[in-house]
Chain A
């Protein structure tokens, strides 16, 4: 009995001893621990690993330049958790990283469903979370105090696609009166379609074709036929890679003419595999809405080493997910510089006051500004819309991001004239 009590006391003492240095060390921190919760395996492994690579590149850059000056040169240490692309695993990994590693803040988690539950855990422990990649509106609409999202909400994507059409119409005096909507029939596609309807109403576009299809379709001839008979002047689509490949091949062989183009919201059309699987002529003049500026690397010399390192790690050039990981680390760098502390409340307050208008955090994405509203949403977030010219995607919207000598092709030539 006595012996047992002795062990208990020893344990308590040990626990206090282990806890004390961390608590008493104050502002002189050796390293900043960032929990990075991503889908490193499972269905979304591709995107998770891309974000991971981007974050590692940025962290290495920061550390090589001497860490974070305001924290006495503290190094950035990334602690990765694998969500296996599952919400429940994401939540338990978040909890594990918190308990075991006592991280200072989190980034993650690409998939909206995972981010929704994982941020719940972080919010409960009052640990700040910088979202990357997740677009579900709900994430920043729950009144959470520790969740911040620099990237687009889902509704922004739809708004941008139709505003780009309106912008091009204004520039040229020519444009569509009617639009068609074709989306994949699960959560993402359907909510995108709902947002598009709302935006079309606001901007006065008549919707003459509005459909969802079941994912994994072998044949789009029925839909293409219907589009041909309804004649929308512009077509907005939301598709994942496999359907996008089949659809694009069939619009090409069926010579589907849409005078003001096919506007794809990035998913299938952001995937490098998509571009390997379809003929170049089939995607000529197609518009793609992406989370970052696709020709960023080409236009900016400073981004070239990032692209090179990314390619060394994954075998292909920088992607929007990689760019988001990179941007997140530099956003945190800025936040910690202003907070001058890893105290979670101070970090949270610094995050809330973020106002980044230049540097790698905004630069790599093609954003003009990162600043959060009271819900933690960056209202200045935007994607970029590119037009494809013979296999090369060139940014044409927002106008501020459009390269100087580029003129969008609008309306696009009919198949018989190409």
Chain B
């Protein structure tokens, strides 16, 4: 196999992998702090794609500007769902330890409702936007080309993750979130309003998808069923990188992206995803906490 081709495949994989990582960040954050697997993750991404789509379609708002609308909107939606639907479960359970199954059912139910309501309102159609800028690519030599919108999505994904890590490390709210993740009882004793932290965390996890949706829509498309594929992939990314680890997410995403892209040069793309799953199983075998996960 031509090394140049493989090199290009690796570059393509890295660009895609960064995006996979960013999609998974919200899931990882919510799981790390709340120990809740958000099964509605893909559905929130779908909303995150629909907002910039409609803003473009109706008012010709540049998707990158739409972030200013999509991120707060999804933060609000996530906050609201946690505060009104998931919080009562916490209050019902003793010692604030949730029966994982009940939350799992709940978030899966929320996902189904979101998907079906959008289906009723917008119909099954696949929609995309066509921007002049979106069909331009950065050319290096004659054969390597990276679409600008994909490149922007990659760079922004990395920036977003760094920003989120800094936020968690440096700010008071971030520290409160981390302490809640480490030990909610102790956090509660220190005067942290754990339920509020949960609301904010869930909101943040969704807000990330608002940003990612705006980054993706120029080169991708949206339909009410689009979230499904991303939900599963995000879950693998999170477990691969280490649950609750933000940099781990990006690492997990990059591995998935590069492996699939390079392997696809040797076997068909459908078989290439086998390699991701093999790596996934190996990691679970030898490092159950994920590549960058902490020992619990």
Instruction: Give residues in A with beta carbon < 8 Å to B.
Output: 43, 45-46, 185, 211-214, 216-219, 221-223, 225-226, 228-229, 241-242, 245-246, 249-250, 252-255, 271, 273-274, 276-279, 281-282
Known A-B contacts A218-B16, A279-B130; the reply to A212 vs B260 at CB < 8 A is no
- Residue of B5, B16, B226, B270 with most partner-chain A CB within 10 A: B270
B180 contacts partner chain A, Cβ-Cβ < 8 Å: no
Supplied contacts A213-B270, A241-B126, 8 more A-B pairs, CB within 8 Å: A225-B143, A242-B226, A245-B128, A253-B145, A254-B145, A276-B128, A279-B132, A281-B135
B8 contacts partner chain A, Cβ-Cβ < 8 Å: yes
B264/A277 in contact, CB under 8 A: no
Q: Which of A212, A254, A255, A279 contacts B269 (CB 8 A)?
A: A212
Residues from chain B with a CB closer than 8 A to the CB of A229 are 2, 5
- Residue of B220, B221, B229 with most partner-chain A CB within 10 A: B221
B129 contacts partner chain A, Cβ-Cβ < 8 Å: yes
Residues from chain B with a CB closer than 8 A to the CB of A252 are 135
- Main SS of the interface on chain A? helix
Please measure, in the bound complex, the distance between the C-alpha atom of A277 and the C-alpha atom of B132, giving whole angstroms.
12
| Interchain nearest-CB distance for B189 vs A (Å) | 45
Known A-B contacts A219-B12, A222-B261, A242-B223; the reply to A249 vs B268 at CB < 8 A is no
B262's nearest neighbour on chain A, judged by CB, is A222
| Interchain nearest-CB distance for B136 vs A (Å) | 7
B221/A225 in contact, CB under 8 A: no
Known A-B contacts A214-B273, A253-B147, A277-B128; the reply to A225 vs B229 at CB < 8 A is no
| Interchain nearest-CB distance for A227 vs B (Å) | 11
Please measure, in the bound complex, the distance between the C-alpha atom of A249 and the C-alpha atom of B131, giving whole angstroms.
11
A221's nearest neighbour on chain B, judged by CB, is B12
Q: How many residues of B are in contact with the other chain, CB < 8 A?
A: 40
Residues from chain A with a CB closer than 8 A to the CB of B12 are 219, 221-222, 225
B136/A245 in contact, CB under 8 A: no
Q: Which of A213, A246, A279 contacts B221 (CB 8 A)?
A: A246
B137/A253 in contact, CB under 8 A: yes
A225/B5 in contact, CB under 8 A: yes
Q: Which of A214, A241, A246, A273 contacts B270 (CB 8 A)?
A: A214
A277/B127 in contact, CB under 8 A: yes
Q: Which of A217, A222, A277 contacts B126 (CB 8 A)?
A: A277
Q: Which of B128, B135, B137, B270 contacts A185 (CB 8 A)?
A: B270
Please measure, in the bound complex, the distance between the C-alpha atom of A223 and the C-alpha atom of B16, giving whole angstroms.
14
B221/A277 in contact, CB under 8 A: yes
Q: Which of B8, B9, B130 contacts A277 (CB 8 A)?
A: B130
Residues from chain A with a CB closer than 8 A to the CB of B261 are 219, 221-222
Residues from chain A with a CB closer than 8 A to the CB of B265 are 222, 225-226
- 17 example contacts (A-B, Cβ-Cβ < 8 A) are as follows A46-B124, A185-B268, A211-B268, A211-B269, A212-B269, A214-B270, A218-B19, A219-B16, A222-B269, A245-B126, A245-B128, A249-B219, A254-B147, A273-B125, A273-B126, A277-B126, A278-B128
B265's nearest neighbour on chain A, judged by CB, is A226
Residues from chain B with a CB closer than 8 A to the CB of A273 are 125-127
Residues from chain A with a CB closer than 8 A to the CB of B219 are 246, 249-250
Please measure, in the bound complex, the distance between the C-alpha atom of A241 and the C-alpha atom of B126, giving whole angstroms.
7
Please measure, in the bound complex, the distance between the C-alpha atom of A213 and the C-alpha atom of B269, giving whole angstroms.
5
A45's nearest neighbour on chain B, judged by CB, is B124
| Interchain nearest-CB distance for B265 vs A (Å) | 6
